[in-house]
Every structure is written in C-alpha cells, then in structure tokens.
Amino acid sequence: MEEKEKMTFPLEGASCCPNCQCEERLLENILNQLDEEGIIFKASFPNGFAFQIPLFDPKKATAILSPTIKIPTVYIRYDICAECKTIYCVGINVVEQPAQVQFQGPPQNMSGGRSHP
C-alpha cells in the first residue's frame, strides 16, 4: 500500500477566477481603496480575508480550557471575482494557535433596549 505524502502549508490557491479567469479581485480592491483613503491600513490584513476554522474534538472541550493548549486552525483565504462575483479560494494555511474559549453571557434584552419594571 502506497503511503500518502504529508501535506505542507501554506497552499497556494487560484491566481485568477476559476469561472471567468478574471484576475481582478473585489475584496483586494476594497482593501486598497480603504487604505488609500486612510480608513484602514492594508498591512493589518496581510493575508486578505479568511474563513477561520478551529479543529478540536468537542468531546475534549474541557481540556481546551487551558491557555497553554494549542489547537490546529485552518485559514481558508478567499476573494471575490470583480467580474462575475464568484467567491474562490486564494490560499489555505493550517496553524496552531492558543485555544480561545467563548463564554456566553446572559440573554440579550429583546425589548429593543427598554427595561420594564
């Protein structure tokens, strides 16, 4: 049986739209425009936009409470074609980062901000 080669990251994604081959990217254009206007610094988004997917076993969630525990996280970098608006992957990376536990607070007041006696 042939052994699979281990994947190494980061992986490069599409350099142009897989649908229409346009090389112009909508989100990249937005970042450039906002940077030029001084609203944001493009350097704050070195990898553009990404879906972040932490990979952990929910059965082991109590073990994640320690800040020293690191879990693998997949970053799927994406952009949108400026021509046909297709969302496509421009790269993938897997990194280990400290676990972040989010505690859910009390339910929000659903009365539009008014409090009742």
Q: Who wins on pLDDT, 4 or 22?
A: 22
DSSP letters of 13-44? --SS-TTT----BHHHHHHHHHHHTTSS-GGG
Q: Who wins on pLDDT, 43 or 66?
A: 43
9-13, 28-32, 56-60, 78-82 — which is least confidently predicted? 56-60
Q: 38-47: per-residue pLDDT in tens?
A: 999 999 988 8
24-33, 35-44, 92-101 — which is least confidently predicted? 92-101
Q: Give the DSSP H or E segment for 87.
A: strand 87-98
| pLDDT of residue 113 exceeding 70 | no
Q: Are 17 and 89 in contact (CB under 8 A)?
A: no
